[in-house]
Chains A and B, each alone.
Chain A
Amino acid sequence: MAKRPKAGSHSRNRRKDASGEPLRIGVYVCHCGLNIDGSLDCEEVARFASTLNDVVLAKDSLYTCSNSGQEMIKADIREKGLNRVVVASCTPRLHEPTFRAACGEAGLNPYLFEMANIREHCSWVHLHDRKGATDKAKDLVKMAVARARFLEPQVETHVPITRKALVVGGGVAGIQASLDLAESGYQVYLVEKEASIGGRMAQIDKTFPTMDCSICILAPKMSEVGRHPNIELMTLSEVESVDGYIGNFRVRVRRRPRYVSKECTYCGDCAKGCPQHAPNEFDCGLSTRKAIYSPFAQAVPATYLIDMSLCLNKHGIVACDRCSQACQHKCIDFSQQEEFLDLEVGTIIVCTGSDVYDPSSLTELGYQRFPNVITSLEFERLINAGGPTAGHLIRPSDKKVPKTVAFLQCIGSRSKRSNPYCSNICCMNTIKDALLIREHWPDTKIYVFYIDIRAFGKGFEDLLQRARREGVIFIRGIPGEILQDDRTGNLKLIGENTLLSKLYQYDMDMAILSVGIEPRKDSAVVKRLLSLPSVADGFFMEAHPKLRPVDTPTGGIFLAGCAEGPKDIKDSVTQASAAASRANILMSKGKVTVEAITARINPDLCTGCGACSRVCPYGAILVDPEAKLAQVVEAACAGCGTCAPECKFGAIRMRHFSDEQILAQIDALAETGAKGKILAFCCNWCSYAGADFTGVSRMQYPTEVRIVRTMCSGRVDPAFVEYAFSKGIAAVLVSGCHPGDCHYINANLQTEKRIQRLWKKMARHGLDKERLQLAWISAAEGLKFSQEIQAMKEIVSGVTDEEIEKGIRAFSEKGQAA
Chain B
Amino acid sequence: MKSPEIFDEALLYECYECARCTGSCPAAFAVEGFNPRNFLLTCLRLGLDAVVSDEKLWCCTTCHVCEDRCPQMLNVTDLLMALMNEAAKRGHIPDKVKAGTGMILHTGRVLLISKRVSEMREKFGLDPLPEIPVEEVEGILEKTGLAGLLG
Q: Which residues of A contact B (CB under 8 A)?
A: 364, 410, 414-418, 451-452, 476-481, 494-498, 501, 503
Asked if B71 contacts A477 (CB within 8 A), the reply is no
Given contacts A416-B71, A416-B73, contact A495 B22 (CB under 8 A): yes
Sample of 11 more A-B contacts, CB < 8 Å, known A494-B29, A501-B35, A503-B29:
A410-B18, A451-B17, A451-B18, A477-B22, A480-B65, A480-B69, A481-B24, A481-B69, A494-B24, A495-B23, A503-B22
Number of A-B contacts (CB under 8 A): 68
Decide if B38 is an interface residue (CB 8 Å cutoff). yes
Decide if B89 is an interface residue (CB 8 Å cutoff). no
Contacts of A417 in B (CB 8 A): 70-71, 73
Kindly state the separation between the CA atoms of A469 and B110 in the bound complex, as whole angstroms. 57
Contacts of A476 in B (CB 8 A): 17, 19
Q: Which residues of B contact A (CB under 8 A)?
A: 16-25, 28-29, 35, 37-38, 65-66, 68-73
Asked if B23 contacts A501 (CB within 8 A), the reply is no
Cβ-closest 3 pairs across A and B: A480-B23, A495-B23, A480-B24
Contacts of B21 in A (CB 8 A): 480
Partner of A496, one of B35, B65, B68: B35
Kindly state the separation between the CA atoms of A501 and B37 in the bound complex, as whole angstroms. 9
Shortest distance from the beta carbon of B54 to any chain A beta carbon, whole Å: 14
Contacts of A480 in B (CB 8 A): 19-25, 65-66, 69
Asked if B72 contacts A416 (CB within 8 A), the reply is yes
Asked if A414 contacts B71 (CB within 8 A), the reply is yes
Asked if A451 contacts B16 (CB within 8 A), the reply is yes
Partner of A414, one of B16, B38, B66: B16
Asked if B28 contacts A478 (CB within 8 A), the reply is no
Contacts of B71 in A (CB 8 A): 410, 414-418
Shortest distance from the beta carbon of B45 to any chain A beta carbon, whole Å: 13
Asked if B24 contacts A364 (CB within 8 A), the reply is yes
Kindly state the separation between the CA atoms of A415 and B71 in the bound complex, as whole angstroms. 5
Kindly state the separation between the CA atoms of A498 and B23 in the bound complex, as whole angstroms. 10
Asked if A498 contacts B24 (CB within 8 A), the reply is no
Shortest distance from the beta carbon of A505 to any chain B beta carbon, whole Å: 8
Kindly state the separation between the CA atoms of A497 and B18 in the bound complex, as whole angstroms. 9
Most chain A Cβ neighbours within 10 Å, of B38, B71, B73:
B71
Asked if B19 contacts A496 (CB within 8 A), the reply is yes
Chain B residue nearest to A450 (CB atoms) is B18
Contacts of A477 in B (CB 8 A): 18-19, 22-23
Asked if B37 contacts A498 (CB within 8 A), the reply is yes
Kindly state the separation between the CA atoms of A252 and B113 in the bound complex, as whole angstroms. 80
Asked if A503 contacts B16 (CB within 8 A), the reply is no
Given contacts A416-B71, A496-B28, A496-B35, contact A479 B23 (CB under 8 A): yes
Chain B residue nearest to A495 (CB atoms) is B23
Q: List 27 A–B pairs whose Cβ atoms lie within 8 Å, in order of A's numbering.
A: A364-B68, A414-B16, A414-B71, A415-B71, A415-B72, A416-B72, A451-B16, A451-B18, A476-B19, A477-B18, A477-B19, A477-B22, A478-B20, A478-B23, A479-B20, A479-B23, A480-B24, A480-B69, A481-B23, A481-B24, A494-B23, A495-B20, A495-B22, A496-B19, A496-B22, A498-B37, A503-B23
Kindly state the separation between the CA atoms of A410 and B19 in the bound complex, as whole angstroms. 13
Kindly state the separation between the CA atoms of A418 and B73 in the bound complex, as whole angstroms. 11
Kindly state the separation between the CA atoms of A364 and B66 in the bound complex, as whole angstroms. 11
Kindly state the separation between the CA atoms of A597 and B107 in the bound complex, as whole angstroms. 84
Chain B residue nearest to A498 (CB atoms) is B19
Contacts of A416 in B (CB 8 A): 71-73
Contacts of B66 in A (CB 8 A): 480
Shortest distance from the beta carbon of A430 to any chain B beta carbon, whole Å: 15
Contacts of B28 in A (CB 8 A): 496, 503
Chain A residue nearest to B33 (CB atoms) is A501
Contacts of A503 in B (CB 8 A): 22-23, 28-29
Kindly state the separation between the CA atoms of A496 and B38 in the bound complex, as whole angstroms. 11
Shortest distance from the beta carbon of B61 to any chain A beta carbon, whole Å: 15
Kindly state the separation between the CA atoms of A390 and B100 in the bound complex, as whole angstroms. 63
Chain B residue nearest to A409 (CB atoms) is B18
Chain A residue nearest to B71 (CB atoms) is A415
Contacts of B38 in A (CB 8 A): 501
